[in-house]
Structure 1
Amino acid sequence: MNISQEKKDNLNAVIKININAEDYQARVDKAIKDQAKKAQIPGFRKGMVPPSHVKRMYGKSILVDEINNLLSDTLNNYLNEEKLEVLGQPLPQVDDSKTYNWDFADNFEFTYEVGLAPEFTLDFSSQDKLSNYKISVDDETLASRISNLRRSYGKMTNPDVSADGDVLYAELKQLSPDGSVFEDGISNTASVRLDQVKDEAIKASLIGLKKDDVVEFDVQKAFDNDAARVAALLKIEEAEAADLKSKFQLTVKNVNRLEESDLDQAFFDKIFGEGEVTTEEEFRTKITEELEGMMVQDADQKLQREMYTYVLDKVNFELPDEFLKRWLKATNEKLSDEELEGGYADFAKNLKWTLIGNKIVTDNDIKIEYTDVVNIAKARIDQQFRMYSPQPISEEQLDQYAVQFLQDKENANRIFEEAKSLKVFEHLKSVFTLDEKPITFDEFSKLPQE
């Protein structure tokens, strides 16, 4: 067997593998004998089928399988021994001029294209500077969070007269240009949320209404020509909603109001568990701590996004783009040329970040421990549960859920990559100069987030 490598340039190479009959004969003979022991062929007892009979019947398919296995083993061993860092997977080159008899005596030549990872250096120091935002919880943000919680645990009432923030359960009927109800026109009974009405004059006309009151309602103007919202309200197709010009008659069937929950012990127990919070002051302190934790995460995510962009801009190297595009097409049969061109830039960015991250990990002997992976899995599961209930689940339950979650190989790989990425960010934070910038939540929310 002979293996050779020809470098086309620093990022592309061709590997040729020549296989002679003596390289594969022993493997094929063994595979035929193993098949003979297991074969169930009419006229022969199990395990007593002559290998020669198996060779006549299945020899060529066994030969093809063993050549493929030998190729795979040989190529992988060569890449490891030569310490070649390849991107994607080797792509076989098809040579229609070569034909084989598959008669157990052929010599074979196989050629593979490979894309090579680029060589590059890293030069990060305290001279690299980024902003690290320290977000403060202002009174408005705290009040909004408390109000949302009180509404989430509030109760529905039916006041006599509508007010801002109420929901009108109403019958809507399409009007003709002369203002009369359009016979066989669009009609539907639906909930109209006043907080979603964009036009202030129309919103004002819906405030102060009682059951059975009737008003004219310009649905397009009310929702600023939002075809999706109009279609949902009237139960019509979005295309029809976009072209709709008619006004509607709105008849109030009921006024619904979500009253905020009282700041009492029952409310505190629902949010934090029985007896955990007993006063309004303790409640506000807990909510402030929760918001501060969320804002630390928001600030850290922004720092990570800016660090990602900064690092990619600073570390310049090329990729074997044409090879990678062919590889993506070869491994994704349904990928169109348009989709490939549209998505390749993001793919290349993520690949560059992976290569940079791997080098940071290797150069600095950074370890990703199993506990790192488990802790991230637990954090993600805890976040999911908190979307439905503010009460945390027990540590024991989190451990059980995390173990189950990580038994899925795809989940485990994804969380491992996340753990590695976080380690890379933590390393960069320790090297970069991070200028702390105090900022209010409102100011922070107006910053570009990409």
Structure 2
Amino acid sequence: MQISETKNDGLARAYNVTIPASEIDSRVSAEVKRIAPQVRMAGFRPGKVPANLVKKMHGESIHADMLNQVVRESVDKVMAENKLRPAMQPSVALGEDYEQGKDATLTVELEVLPEIAAPSIEGLKLEKLTVPVSDEEVMEAVERIAGQQKSFKAAAKTKKAAEGDQLIIDFVGKLDGVEFEGGKAEDAALEIGSGRFIPGFEEQLVGAKTGDEKTITVTFPADYPAENLKGKEATFDITVKEVKVPTETKADDEFAKNLGLESLDKLKELLRGQLEQETAGLTRTQMKRALLDQLAAGHDFAVPPSMVEAEFNQIWAQLTQEAAREEDPEAAMKEIEAEKDDYRRIAERRVRLGLLLSEIGQANGVEVSNQEMQMLVQQAAQQYRPEDRQRFVEYVRNEPMAAAQLRAPLYEDKVVDFLFDKAEVTTREVTKEELQAAIEAEEGETPAAKPEAKKAPAKKKAAKADEPATEASAEANDAAAEEKPAKKPAAKKAPAKKAEQADAGEEKAEAKPAKKAPAKKAAKKAEA
């Protein structure tokens, strides 16, 4: 086998590999000899089929397998002899003029990870902004819950139903005088003004009293889930069995017990913990951004263009999806198109930070344990239907890149926590508004993130400059190097996640969907 380097330009490498025909032929002969005793053929006793007949029958597939095997080993040898650390999976091409009996010529092209000087973790100084949780905030949270726990009490039989009142009704729905499936209910609770029933239903019950019987006419929405009801006019025969009026829910021990807690104090304790956890997440975000700003300011090195392109494509895909949901998708696309270069610079910074954190983690023995990895896989599997969960686990087990991508965010967090422990941290109490303002002020403001002419607009929530590309972790790079580029099997697919299915007969009791965020307010990736 002969290996010659044909390109060494920055992080780009290319090699020509020549595999002698004799080496391929010897492997084919050895494989024929190995499988011959297992071959069955009419007219021959088991294990007695001549090797030349085995080769005649299975020679093509055996040759393909052995060629594939020697190509993989050749690529591994290129990596090992040249001490290469691939940034992404190498590109391997077999010469177009190759045929059996001839030497095989390969072209191997790749980008390597940059050599990063051991990052200094000494002298890191961070300010930790904390937000104390006051008794007033806890009580406000209690009152919010109490306000959401609506309760109603029976009103006088002469009470006419008004906005906010609850009716207990029986109803029967009919199309052209014929009762339709799913249009009947008894003792149904309807709050006037809640918008849970189809348009026009609740409004026609304003003024109804206990014991009233009436027929109303409504038109089902054109996008109603049930095909037989879309846009159809229907009547509902309604019997009002009771009118109830809302009552104030008092935040006391009895209220807490109704929620399954021992007392109001226990509820306050629980809510205080939730509020503290929420502010702790914001504090971590602020500290992480400050930490990454310091790291980015002190390190500037070339990063593999293929990794930057992959990261940019992820950012761009998210932004275009958000733009498509805007009221004016065309205008939204023009807006992000005008800032495309800024997003590409953000992608480069994120890749650089990911490589830097990876290098720090490797140099300091940061690892994700097998137990932690198993927990990650099991948690991710819960996103799938029960019958698909084991298939997902197998998929991750057999696909190194899938496992690496799952592992990468936890690995990054562990490196960040390691650096927090090493840094000199001072603490300062602030208000929640001040903490949020500090987070926004730090976004994209470090020297490495600033474009030459202007800084990246603050609205770039989806592509924060200070968020490392987690795919660039050490595990992901190692997995890319371990992939066998010559094998190229059909790509395995992870099982489909749970389908979000709407019950066609339930629209009348569904809450209205929340409005979608516009593109310029794309959701931030979690940093906690």
Q: TM-score, normalised by structure 1?
A: 0.61
For residue 429 of structure 2, give the secondary structure of its aligned residue in structure 1. strand
> Is 1:315 matched up with 2:313?
no
1:31 & 1:258 partners in 2: Cα distance? 83
For residue 92 of structure 1, what is the aligned residue in structure 2?
92
For residue 230 of structure 1, what is the aligned residue in structure 2?
none
Instruction: Judge conservation of contact 1:128–1:432 (CA < 8 Å) in 2.
Output: yes
% identical equivalent positions? 19
What is the one-letter code of the residue matched to 2:355? L
Instruction: Judge conservation of contact 2:296–2:353 (CA < 8 Å) in 1.
Output: yes
The 1:308–1:324 alpha-carbon spacing in structure 2 relative to 1, beyond 3 Å, is closer
**CA apart distance, 1:155:** 4.0
For residue 177 of structure 1, what is the aligned residue in structure 2?
none
2:309 & 2:421 partners in 1: Cα distance? 36
For residue 409 of structure 2, what is the aligned residue in structure 1?
418
For residue 285 of structure 2, what is the aligned residue in structure 1?
301
> Is 1:116 matched up with 2:100?
no
Q: Give ranges in structure 2 of 5+ residues lacking alignment.
A: 169-189, 196-201, 210-218, 225-239, 322-336, 384-389, 444-460, 462-528
What is the one-letter code of the residue matched to 2:99? N
Question: Between Structure 1 and Structure 2, which shows a larger proportion of helix residues?
Answer: 1
Residues 275-286 of structure 1: matches in 2 within 5 Å?
277=262, 279-286=263-270
The 1:377–1:113 alpha-carbon spacing in structure 2 relative to 1, beyond 3 Å, is closer
Per-residue CA deviations over 1:235-291 (Å, capped at 9, x if unaligned) read 3569xxxxxxxxxxxxxx98875864753357347444xxxx4x4334323321332
The 1:433–1:281 alpha-carbon spacing in structure 2 relative to 1, beyond 3 Å, is same
Match of 1:440 among 407, 411, 431: 431
The 1:299–1:322 alpha-carbon spacing in structure 2 relative to 1, beyond 3 Å, is closer
Instruction: Judge conservation of contact 2:152–2:244 (CA < 8 Å) in 1.
Output: no
Residues 270-419 of structure 1: matches in 2 within 5 Å?
270-272=259-261, 277=262, 279-308=263-292, 310-312=294-296, 314-321=298-305, 325=309, 348-370=348-370, 372-373=372-373, 409=397, 413=404, 416-419=407-410
The 1:132–1:157 alpha-carbon spacing in structure 2 relative to 1, beyond 3 Å, is farther
What is the one-letter code of the residue matched to 1:422? D
For residue 235 of structure 1, what is the aligned residue in structure 2?
221
Per-residue CA deviations over 1:46-85 (Å, capped at 9, x if unaligned) read 4333221122233133212211111102212431343211
Instruction: Judge conservation of contact 2:111–2:306 (CA < 8 Å) in 1.
Output: no
2:251 & 2:92 partners in 1: Cα distance? 70
The 1:152–1:8 alpha-carbon spacing in structure 2 relative to 1, beyond 3 Å, is same
> Is 1:37 matched up with 2:37?
yes
Instruction: Judge conservation of contact 1:13–1:114 (CA < 8 Å) in 2.
Output: yes
Instruction: Judge conservation of contact 1:32–1:54 (CA < 8 Å) in 2.
Output: yes
What is the one-letter code of the residue matched to 2:21? A
2:27 & 2:373 partners in 1: Cα distance? 41
Instruction: Judge conservation of contact 1:167–1:193 (CA < 8 Å) in 2.
Output: no
The 1:150–1:323 alpha-carbon spacing in structure 2 relative to 1, beyond 3 Å, is closer
2:270 & 2:307 partners in 1: Cα distance? 55
For residue 430 of structure 2, give the secondary structure of its aligned residue in structure 1. strand
1:19 & 1:430 partners in 2: Cα distance? 52
1:108 & 1:43 partners in 2: Cα distance? 37
> Is 1:63 matched up with 2:54?
no
1:404 & 1:10 partners in 2: Cα distance? 41
2:404 & 2:247 partners in 1: Cα distance? 44
For residue 228 of structure 1, what is the aligned residue in structure 2?
none
- Once the two structures are overlaid, the 10-residue window that deviates more, 421-430 or 308-317, is 308-317
Instruction: Judge conservation of contact 1:157–1:259 (CA < 8 Å) in 2.
Output: no
Instruction: Judge conservation of contact 1:135–1:439 (CA < 8 Å) in 2.
Output: yes
Instruction: Judge conservation of contact 1:14–1:112 (CA < 8 Å) in 2.
Output: yes
- Once the two structures are overlaid, the 10-residue window that deviates more, 354-363 or 313-322, is 313-322
Match of 1:143 among 139, 142, 147: 139
**CA apart distance, 1:165:** 7.7
For residue 68 of structure 1, give the secondary structure of its aligned residue in structure 2. helix
Q: TM-score, normalised by structure 2?
A: 0.53
1:66 & 1:44 partners in 2: Cα distance? 26
The 1:161–1:414 alpha-carbon spacing in structure 2 relative to 1, beyond 3 Å, is farther
1:432 & 1:371 partners in 2: Cα distance? 28
RMSD: 4.9
2:391 & 2:55 partners in 1: Cα distance? 46
**CA apart distance, 1:95:** 5.0
The 1:23–1:54 alpha-carbon spacing in structure 2 relative to 1, beyond 3 Å, is same
**CA apart distance, 1:20:** 0.6
1:370 & 1:124 partners in 2: Cα distance? 29
What is the one-letter code of the residue matched to 2:269? T
1:437 & 1:8 partners in 2: Cα distance? 51
Instruction: Judge conservation of contact 2:256–2:267 (CA < 8 Å) in 1.
Output: no
For residue 418 of structure 1, give the secondary structure of its aligned residue in structure 2. helix
Q: Give ranges in structure 1 of 5+ residues lacking alignment.
A: 170-188, 195-205, 214-232, 239-252, 385-402
